[in-house]
C-alpha cells in the first residue's frame, strides 16, 4: 500500500491556476493557439540596470555561496529607502525588514509563525485564494468577511465586530485590492489599525499592486501605531516586472519579524547574492521608470475595456492593478461554464471570479499582461463568438 498523505492535504486542493495552466499547455501541445489572459505575470522586462547588475554579480566567483537568511544589508536598506520615498514610512533595515522569496512565501511564514490550530483568521471574500489555503494548511479556521461592490469592496468593520472575535488571531487585507482593483486609502488603513488594536488581532496587508496604474501610494505601516499590530508584505513581482525572480519582503515591528524569521530560517538557505544585488538596482529605479511601464498598461487597459464592453460586462474605470474586473450580464446563468465555453470556442482563457470567493461568482477578471497584438486578437475572436451565437 502507498503511504497515506498528511491529513492537512485534505483541507486544500491544487491551486486553480496550476490546473488551468496544465490544461492550456495540453491544448497548445495539441496545436491550439491559446491566449492566456488569466494570470498577472508581467510580460515586460525589468530595467536594464537591474539585468546588468545580475549578470555582473553572477560572474564573480565569490557570489555563489549561501547567503544570510535575513537578506544582505544593502537590499534591506534599499527596501527601507523605497518605503521612505514612496510610502513615507520609516523602517529600520536592521530588524524591521525580512527578505522573502516572493510575498506568497510570506503568507505561509506569517501563518506558521502566528496561527495555532483552531485559531481563526479573517479572510476577504473576494480575495486571494492563498490566504484561505495556507490557513487550512496550518490548522487555522478560515472566517470569511464580505466585500461587496455596493460598499466599494471595502470591509464592513462594524458588521465584523457584531460577531465573536475572541478566537480571531490574524486578519488579511489586500489594498490595492486583488481582484477588484480598489485602491487603499489613509482613512481605510486608520480604521483597520484601530480595529486591530482594539481586538488584539495581527493585521497583515498584502501590498504588491501599488505601482500599477496608480499614483496614490499607501502603506498600512504609515498609520500611527500600526507597527504594534500589523505586518505588510510587498514584492518586486508586479512593480518591477520580476515575478519569476521571487523577491519580496515583510516589514513590521522587530518582534514580529523575529518570529517570522524563526520559521523562514528553517525552510530556506537565503537568496542568490546576484539576485539581491540586482534587486537593489531595481529599487533605485527613478519614478519615471514606473511611468514608462504604466504607459504600456494604459494602452492595454483601453483595449481590455473594449473587450469588457463587447462582453456586456460592467466595470469600474477607477480600478488599479494588473487586471480589469467586470460583472457579467444577468442573463448568463453560470460564470464558470461561461468562461470555459469562451476558452473552448475562442481559445482565450479569462479568470472566473468564483475562485476568489462566493462574492466573485458574477464576475470575470482579464489580465493586462499580454501584448496589444494579443489583446486585439482576443477582441476579434470575441467578436466572432458573438456573431456565431
pLDDT single digits (tens) 270-290: 999 999 999 999 999 999 999
Residue 115 falls within a domain, yes or no?
Answer: yes
Answer with the residue of higher pLDDT: 41 or 18: 41
Same domain? For 204 and 90 the reply is: yes
Same domain? For 163 and 212 the reply is: yes
pLDDT in tens, 195-248: 999 999 999 999 999 999 999 999 999 999 999 999 999 999 999 999 999 999
Same domain? For 86 and 33 the reply is: no
- b/e string for 192-206 if b means 16 or more Cβ within 10 A? bbebbeebebbbbbb
Residue 389 confidence (pLDDT): 53
Same domain? For 295 and 231 the reply is: no
Q: Is 168 within 8 Å of 201 (Cβ atoms)?
A: yes
Residue 1 falls within a domain, yes or no?
Answer: no
Residue 60 falls within a domain, yes or no?
Answer: yes
Residue 261 falls within a domain, yes or no?
Answer: yes
Helix H or strand E encompassing 173: strand 168-173
Same domain? For 32 and 61 the reply is: no
Any idea what the CATH number is for the domain that residue 77 is in? 3.40.640.10
Q: Where is the domain boundary, 285, 308, 327?
A: 285
**Confidence band, pLDDT 50/70/90 cuts, at residue 110:** very high
Indicate whether 152 pLDDT > 60.
Answer: yes
Q: How far is residue 69's CA from residue 10's CA, in Å, rounded to a whole number?
A: 31
Same domain? For 130 and 18 the reply is: no
How far, in whole angstroms, is CA 166 from its chain's centroid? 28
**Confidence band, pLDDT 50/70/90 cuts, at residue 6:** confident
Q: Where is the domain boundary, 233, 265, 285?
A: 285
Q: How far is residue 363's CA from residue 345's CA, in Å, rounded to a whole number?
A: 19
- Give the chain's mean pLDDT: 95
| Residue 265 exposed, middle or buried by CB count within 10 Å (0-12, 13-18, 19+) | middle
Same domain? For 216 and 109 the reply is: yes
> Residue for cell digits 537578506?
71
Give the residues across from 81 on adjacent strands. Answer: none
Residue 62 neighbours by CB distance under 10 Å? 7
Residue 92 falls within a domain, yes or no?
Answer: yes
For residue 296, the SS3 value is helix
Residue 356 confidence (pLDDT): 96
Residue 2 falls within a domain, yes or no?
Answer: no
Q: Is 265 within 8 Å of 180 (Cβ atoms)?
A: no
Average pLDDT over residues 15-28: 86
Residue 7 confidence (pLDDT): 86
Q: How far is residue 364's CA from residue 172's CA, in Å, rounded to a whole number?
A: 22
> Residue for cell digits 506558521?
112
Residue 79 neighbours by CB distance under 10 Å? 25
Helix H or strand E encompassing 138: none
Same domain? For 34 and 125 the reply is: no
Residue 195 falls within a domain, yes or no?
Answer: yes
338: Cβ–Cβ under 8 A, 6 or more apart, which residues?
328, 332, 352, 364
> Residue for cell digits 464592453?
309
Number of H helices, E strands in the chain: 12, 13
Q: How far is residue 37's CA from residue 237's CA, in Å, rounded to a whole number?
A: 17
Answer with the residue of higher pLDDT: 10 or 333: 333
Residue 41 confidence (pLDDT): 93
Q: How far is residue 62's CA from residue 78's CA, in Å, rounded to a whole number?
A: 22
What Å distances lie between residue 147 and 174, 177, 179, 186, 209, CA to CA? 12, 10, 11, 18, 18
Q: How far is residue 366's CA from residue 375's CA, in Å, rounded to a whole number?
A: 10
Same domain? For 356 and 216 the reply is: no
Residue 55 falls within a domain, yes or no?
Answer: yes
Say how many domains are in the chain.
2
Phi, psi (degrees; rounded to nearest 5) at 172: -95, 130
Pull the grid cell for residue 327. Answer: 460583472
| Residue 16 exposed, middle or buried by CB count within 10 Å (0-12, 13-18, 19+) | middle
Indicate whether 99 pLDDT > 80.
Answer: yes
What is this structure's pTM? 0.95
Same domain? For 369 and 268 the reply is: no
Average pLDDT over residues 79-85: 98
Q: Where is the domain boundary, 232, 256, 285?
A: 285
Average pLDDT over residues 47-66: 97
**Confidence band, pLDDT 50/70/90 cuts, at residue 387:** low
Same domain? For 199 and 347 the reply is: no
Residue 242 confidence (pLDDT): 97
Domain that holds residue 369: 7-45+288-388
Indicate whether 9 pLDDT > 90.
Answer: no
Q: Is 90 within 8 Å of 253 (Cβ atoms)?
A: no
Phi, psi (degrees; rounded to nearest 5) at 97: -135, 130
Q: Is 64 within 8 Å of 273 (Cβ atoms)?
A: yes
245: Cβ–Cβ under 8 A, 6 or more apart, which residues?
46, 236, 237, 275, 278, 279
Indicate whether 385 pLDDT > 80.
Answer: no
Indicate whether 68 pLDDT > 80.
Answer: yes
Lowest mean pLDDT among 69-78, 254-263, 301-310, 331-340: 331-340
Average pLDDT over residues 105-117: 97
**Confidence band, pLDDT 50/70/90 cuts, at residue 21:** confident
Same domain? For 319 and 360 the reply is: yes
Q: How far is residue 111's CA from residue 121's CA, in Å, rounded to a whole number?
A: 9
Q: Is 136 within 8 Å of 12 (Cβ atoms)?
A: yes
Any idea what the CATH number is for the domain that residue 315 is in? 3.90.1150.10
**Confidence band, pLDDT 50/70/90 cuts, at residue 124:** very high
Share of the chain above pLDDT 70, in %: 99
Phi, psi (degrees; rounded to nearest 5) at 259: -70, -35
Amino acid at each position: 500500500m502507498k503511504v497515506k498523505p498528511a491529513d492537512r492535504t485534505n483541507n486544500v486542493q491544487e491551486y486553480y491556476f496550476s490546473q488551468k495552466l496544465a490544461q492550456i499547455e495540453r491544448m497548445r501541445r495539441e496545436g491550439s493557439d491559446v491566449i492566456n489572459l488569466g494570470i498577472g505575470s508581467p510580460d515586460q522586462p525589468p530595467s536594464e540596470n537591474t539585468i546588468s547588475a545580475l549578470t555582473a554579480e553572477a560572474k564573480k566567483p565569490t557570489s555563489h555561496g549561501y547567503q544570510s537568511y535575513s537578506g544582505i544589508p544593502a537590499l534591506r536598506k534599499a527596501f527601507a529607502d523605497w518605503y521612505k520615498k514612496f510610502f513615507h514610512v520609516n523602517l529600520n533595515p536592521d530588524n524591521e525588514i525580512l527578505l522573502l522569496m516572493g510575498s506568497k512565501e510570506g503568507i505561509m511564514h506569517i501563518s506558521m509563525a502566528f496561527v495555532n490550530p483552531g485559531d481563526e483568521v479573517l479572510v476577504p471574500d473576494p480575495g486571494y485564494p492563498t490566504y484561505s489555503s495556507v490557513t487550512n494548511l496550518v490548522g487555522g479556521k478560515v472566517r470569511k468577511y464580505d466585500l461587496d461592490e455596493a460598499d466599494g469592496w471595502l470591509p464592513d468593520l462594524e458588521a465584523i465586530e457584531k460577531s465573536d472575535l475572541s478566537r480571531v488571531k490574524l486578519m488579511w487585507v489586500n489594498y490595492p485590492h486583488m481582484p477588484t482593483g480598489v485602491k487603499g486609502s489613509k482613512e481605510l488603513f486608520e480604521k483597520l489599525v484601530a480595529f486591530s488594536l482594539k481586538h488584539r488581532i495581527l493585521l497583515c496587508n498584502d501590498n504588491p499592486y501599488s505601482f500599477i496604474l496608480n499614483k496614490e501610494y499607501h502603506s498600512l505601516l504609515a498609520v500611527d501605531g500600526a507597527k504594534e499590530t500589523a505586518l505588510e508584505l510587498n514584492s518586486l513581482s508586479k512593480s518591477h516586472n520580476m515575478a519569476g525572480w521571487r523577491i519580496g519582503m515583510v516589514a513590521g515591528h522587530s518582534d514580529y519579524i523575529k518570529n517570522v524569521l524563526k520559521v523562514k530560517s528553517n525552510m530556506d538557505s537565503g537568496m542568490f547574492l546576484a539576485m539581491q544585488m540586482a534587486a537593489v538596482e531595481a529599487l533605485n529605479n527613478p519614478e519615471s521608470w514606473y511611468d514608462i511601464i504604466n504607459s504600456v498598461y494604459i494602452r492595454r487597459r483601453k483595449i481590455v475595456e473594449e473587450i469588457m464592453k463587447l462582453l456586456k460586462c460592467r466595470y469600474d474605470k477607477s480600478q488599479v492593478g494588473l487586471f480589469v474586473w467586470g460583472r457579467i450580464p444577468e442573463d448568463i446563468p453560470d460564470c464558470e461554464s461561461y468562461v470555459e465555453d469562451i476558452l473552448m470556442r475562442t481559445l482565450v482563457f479569462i479568470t472566473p471570479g468564483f475562485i476568489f470567493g462566493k462574492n466573485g461568482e458574477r464576475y470575470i477578471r482579464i489580465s493586462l499582461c499580454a501584448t496589444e497584438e494579443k489583446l486585439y486578437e482576443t477582441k476579434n475572436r470575441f467578436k466572432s463568438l458573438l456573431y456565431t451565437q
